[in-house]
Amino acid sequence: MSLYLIGDLQGCDAALQRLLEKIAFSPSRDTLYFLGDLVNRGPASDAVLRRLMGYGNSARCLLGNHDLHLLATAFGARKPSRKDTLQCILGAPDRHTMLDWLRHQNLAMLEHWGGQPLLMVHAGVLPGWSVDKTMQLAREVETVLRSDTVADFFQTMYGNLPDAWNEALQGPERLRVIVNALTRMRLCTAEGRMEFDFSGGAERAPDGYLPWFEVPGRLTSNATVAFGHWSTLGWLGRSDVLSLDTGCVWGGCLSALRIDPVASGWQSELIQVQCEQAQKPGD
């Protein structure tokens, strides 16, 4: 049995097919962990969702900002943008099946392989959140996504404020901070104030901000945190951080990290396939 962490797909089903062939994936034997942004910008978001649904428990998926955008659009809280490639889902006869499956996916996942905690999120974790706190807060949003009030949630999900966590936050503002941290954040201050406009390389972070995983004393430093979302950061493999968005939809690679538990923790291997460019840089 093998476990694979896979970066942002964004509707690139053909690249996923090539990757699965390269790793000789077997749903009866292996487990795939997708780090969010399953859909949008690429040419075949509907095929991606149908494929992952068909794999059952062998495909475990996070929600990214593009996946939440699809759901918000479907529930009437957002209009499609000119850059979206979501009509293949929104106009599909099995639209409701795909959307219902999507809103039952996770905002964070936690596994313990070889005794080492592995926390998986789409974008980032605020420095003041522990692993347990992150999982607790993700569950708060997941509960709403799966509830009858989900349409109301999407009406208030968007916005950059509040830009920092406060335990006293309640209602829409509390949920918005959780969503923004887990699905949108790349940079924050040492005090945990988030920035949402920057999308360049980590070395060009504006003054006062740094990559969320470089904040001194962050409470998830005792775990390995795997994430996607940051294509200009690309592959980063450290004992505490695994970054796996390697820009498939922009003509980069689709990446999978194979993880095999061993007595001392785990060993890993990076596997990649080249992708066709589906979006122009800057789109």
- pLDDT tens-place string over residues 158-190: 999 999 999 999 999 999 999 999 999 999 999
- Given a cut of 70, is residue 23 above it in pLDDT? yes
- Given a cut of 80, is residue 264 above it in pLDDT? no
Distances (CA, A) of 258 to 19, 29, 95: 12, 13, 32
Indicate the SS3 state at residue 132.
helix
Indicate the SS3 state at residue 200.
coil
pLDDT at 277: 84
- Given a cut of 70, is residue 283 above it in pLDDT? no
Measure the CA dihedral 138/234/11/75, to 10°: 30
Cα 31 from Cα 22, distance rounded (Å): 15
User: Which residue is listed with tokens 């923004």?
Assistant: 180
The full set of domain ranges for the chain reads 3-274
Q: Average pLDDT over the chain, rounded to whole? A: 95
- Given a cut of 70, is residue 13 above it in pLDDT? yes
**pTM of this structure:** 0.96
CATH, range 3-274: 3.60.21.10
